[in-house]
Amino acid sequence: MISLSDIPARPSAWITPPMIVLAVLLLAAPDLLPAVGLYQYLGIEIAIWISFALGFNLLFGYAGLHSFGHGAYLGIGAYAFGLFQQHVAASLWGGLLAAVLAAGVAGALVGAFLSHRRGIYYALLTIGFGQIFWFLAMKLHRITGGEDGLLGIPRPPLALGSWQVSLTDNRALFYFSAALLLIVLVLCWRVVNSPFGRVLQAIRQNETRARFIGYEVWRFKWAVFTLSAMLAGLSGSLLAMAQQSAYPDVMSLHQSGLIVMMVLVGGGLVSFWGPVLGVVFYFVARDVLGGLTETWLLWYGLIFMAMVMLRPEGLAGMLHGLLRRRPALKPTTAPAPATEAA
């Protein structure tokens, strides 16, 4: 299996050709989606979940830290945004900031506890903390609205100086989400290609060795967890705006598992673009398979199992293999077996 380090990066570039392709696709999406029989709201969902997945993959794919409770930070962002609108001020930037900070603080606290742990203990503790946040959201009825959720979250207008745009229209909200997504994309790209990103990959490949080289591994693990939680919080605030409400549902183990599945199916373990492909595949599969059968999750689960068994490098890995093989007339050797140390 190939690994993240094998797909050549262009560390010096801020903007790469695939980013331009994505930007063009996003620009055209509100007209493109109805043309292929889908609807505009799907575009918002996809943009939000891609932002979430990109941040999640810093942790999951790059640092090799397997969080199974990441939905919690998405939910915290959504609640923080809603509570800010309802109790402080109806302000877009204030809400976004509150969401990022709230998720960041939660992530920093949890990260401080987690970062000395490894492997399965790490994964389990993320589940434990995720469940705690989910439980709090369910039980703190007076603050979060319990199982009914926090309802009636407004979509405050986008204000830049004296220039104001209303975001109540789905199309406007989509463009806003897409713009934030592109910012997150460039940010993540810079992070993974920075010295910090290299250290994260070193930790994934061999944590002990990274420590012997002299890096304070736990600080890096803590920093990437916090960063990833902040990005989840940002996505959560967009989710709150899109749904105009916030539910404990996104914080459940089920949803936290879904983001893991999306990222893996897309190929987050081998490519920066894996999360993007995975999220698009999930939502399109949900709408297409979901239209055909009520048990579409069964089929998605089976696809996922087959992927883990046969092609753990995901869609991005398959695409990469396809593109690489075409110039050579015949493939000389099969791809090397998995040699990357865990």
Partner 1 sequence: MIDLLPHIINGLTLGLLFALIALGFTLIVGVMEVINLAHGSLFAIGAYFALTVIAGSWFAGTPFGAWWLSLPLGLRYVLALAIGPALAGLAGMLLELCLRPTYGKPPLYGLLLTFGAALVIEELIRLVWGTGEQNLALPQAINGAFLLNGMIFSTYRFFAAGFSIAAIVAVWLFLERTSAGAVIKAGAHDSEMVRALGYDLARLRLVVFGFGAALAGLAGVVMVPIWGLRPHVGVDIVIPAFLIIVIGGVGSFWGAVIAALLVGLVIGITGVYAAAWSTMSMYLLLIAILGFRSRGLLGRKSALEN
Interaction site with partner 1 (CB under 8 A): 66, 113, 116-121, 123-125, 127-129, 131-132, 135, 139, 207, 253-254, 257, 260-261, 264, 295, 297-298, 300-302, 304-305, 308-310, 312, 338, 342
Q: Shortest Cβ distance from residue 295 to partner 1 (Å)?
A: 5
Q: Shortest Cβ distance from residue 278 to partner 1 (Å)?
A: 13
Q: Shortest Cβ distance from residue 267 to partner 1 (Å)?
A: 13
SS3 125: helix
Q: Using alpha carbons only, what angle is made at residue 149 by residues 183 and 139, rounded to the nearest 5 degrees?
A: 115
Closest CA to 43 of 34, 54, 55, 53: 34
Closest CA to 287 of 15, 45, 29: 45
For partner 1, the closer CB: 164 or 295 = 295
Q: Shortest Cβ distance from residue 66 to partner 1 (Å)?
A: 6
For residues 117, 120, 123, 126, the Cα torsion angle rounded to the nearest 10 degrees is -50
For partner 1, the closer CB: 238 or 261 = 261
Beta bridge partners of 163: 160
Beta bridge partners of 165: 158
* Count of other CB atoms within 10 angstroms of residue 257: 17
For partner 1, the closer CB: 116 or 324 = 116
For partner 1, the closer CB: 18 or 301 = 301
C-beta separation of 136 from 76 below 8 A: no
The span from the CA of 276 to the CA of 49, in Å, is 9
The span from the CA of 211 to the CA of 108, in Å, is 21
The span from the CA of 247 to the CA of 278, in Å, is 23
Q: Shortest Cβ distance from residue 245 to partner 1 (Å)?
A: 23
For partner 1, the closer CB: 312 or 321 = 312
C-beta separation of 256 from 72 below 8 A: yes
Q: Give the chain's end-to-end CA distance (angstroms, integer).
A: 13
For partner 1, the closer CB: 124 or 223 = 124
Q: Shortest Cβ distance from residue 98 to partner 1 (Å)?
A: 25
Q: Shortest Cβ distance from residue 14 to partner 1 (Å)?
A: 32
For partner 1, the closer CB: 66 or 211 = 66
